[in-house]
């Protein structure tokens, strides 16, 4: 693709992703939505008191796992009520916006990783379809967006070495801890492939690996010499050994 074709494809791809993400967002809300609104209202009125406000037991300890999302949902609900849109309609619109944001971010992240716009586009549609059961007015939708942003920031930092992406990677877990605390440990799971890749790279460049590779090629050279192999093959192995010994030195 030339530059103009790529731009046209990106515009078309994003437009389709927006329509697809919108279509996947259900109009019906879950029972948890009512609880979320009530918790948000309670937190705004009483702060994070670490007590279950809706239990018939007195002084029952309770941790608000997604208080920030609850407060945000309540504010959206109140905005809808005050403007005449309707509280639940406003929550639905907010969910649509989050769903579209997730779809676009997945596409951008995949394009950055696989370097192929067409592959990134179709995988994005597939991923959004698989996530359709989880696209709803719950904290998990915000968490998915933050997870995708994490991968995107890691890839961007590896490519550009710009520190602003490191700042983003510090801010994201803080947000997750307040938006959806239960999944906070999973944030660090996203780093495991990169850590494993780094460890493997260190091992492959270590002295032990070079010694093993040199020994293997020397044994191969001896076998070729015994079999009376051609000078071309022997020279090829010899060059490999010399190259490895130069790197090891």
Task: List, for residues 170-225, the tens digit of each pLDDT value.
Answer: 999 999 999 999 999 999 999 999 999 888 877 766 666 667 777 787 777 777 77
Residue 78 neighbours by CB under 8 Å, 6+ apart: 87
Token readout for 189 is: 């799971």
Cα–Cα distance for residue pair 209/188, rounded to 1 Å = 29
Residue span of the structural domain in which 226 resides: 206-248
Percentage of the chain surpassing pLDDT 90? Answer: 58
Residue 157 confidence (pLDDT): 93
Specify whether 223 is located in the same domain as 185. Answer: no
Angle between helices 3-24 and 87-114 (to 10 degrees): 140
Specify whether 95 is located in the same domain as 160. Answer: yes
Specify whether 215 is located in the same domain as 125. Answer: no
The secondary structure element, H or E, covering residue 78 is helix 67-83
Q: Where on the phi/psi map is residue 48: left (φ > 0), alpha (ψ -120 to 50), or beta?
A: beta
Q: Specify if 198 maps to a domain.
A: no
| pLDDT beneath 50: ranges in the chain | none
Contact criterion met (CB below 8 Å) for 69 and 142: yes
Specify whether 76 is located in the same domain as 13. Answer: yes
- How many structural domains is the chain composed of? 2
Cα–Cα distance for residue pair 130/122, rounded to 1 Å = 12
Cα–Cα distance for residue pair 97/91, rounded to 1 Å = 10
Residue 249 confidence (pLDDT): 59
Structural domain ending residue among the three candidates 140, 155, 190: 190
Q: How far is CA 98 from CA 28, 91, 103, 123, 214, in A?
A: 16, 11, 9, 19, 55
Token readout for 176 is: 């997750």
Specify whether 128 is located in the same domain as 240. Answer: no
Global confidence as pTM: 0.80
Write the pLDDT tens digit of every residue in 89-102.
999 999 999 999 99
Q: Specify if 51 maps to a domain.
A: yes
Specify whether 49 is located in the same domain as 112. Answer: yes
Phi and psi angles of residue 104, each rounded to the nearest 5 degrees, phi first: -65, -40
Cα–Cα distance for residue pair 179/83, rounded to 1 Å = 26
Specify whether 22 is located in the same domain as 128. Answer: yes
């Amino acid at each position: 693709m030339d530059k103009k074709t790529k731009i046209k494809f990106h515009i078309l791809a994003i437009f389709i992703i927006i329509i697809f993400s919108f279509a996947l967002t259900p109009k019906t809300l879950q029972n948890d939505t009512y609880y979320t609104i009530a918790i948000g209202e309670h937190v705004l009125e009483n702060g994070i008191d670490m007590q279950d406000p809706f239990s018939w037991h007195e002084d029952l300890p309770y941790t608000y796992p997604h208080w920030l999302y609850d407060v945000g949902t309540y504010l959206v609900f109140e905005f809808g009520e005050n403007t005449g849109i309707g509280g639940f309609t406003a929550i639905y619109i907010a969910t649509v916006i989050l769903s579209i944001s997730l779809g676009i971010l997945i596409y951008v992240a995949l394009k950055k990783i696989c370097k192929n716009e067409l592959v990134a586009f179709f995988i994005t549609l597939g991923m959004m379809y698989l996530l359709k059961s989880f696209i709803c007015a719950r904290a998990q939708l915000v968490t998915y967006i933050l997870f995708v942003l994490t991968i995107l920031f890691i890839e961007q930092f590896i490519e550009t070495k710009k520190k602003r992406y490191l700042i983003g990677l510090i801010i994201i877990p803080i947000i997750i801890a307040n938006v959806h605390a239960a999944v906070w440990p999973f944030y660090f799971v996203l780093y495991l492939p990169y850590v494993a890749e780094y460890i493997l790279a260190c091992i492959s460049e270590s002295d032990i690996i070079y010694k093993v590779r040199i020994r293997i090629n020397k044994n191969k050279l001896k076998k070729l010499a015994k079999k009376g192999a051609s000078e071309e093959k022997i020279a090829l192995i010899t060059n490999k050994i010399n190259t490895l010994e130069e790197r090891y030195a």
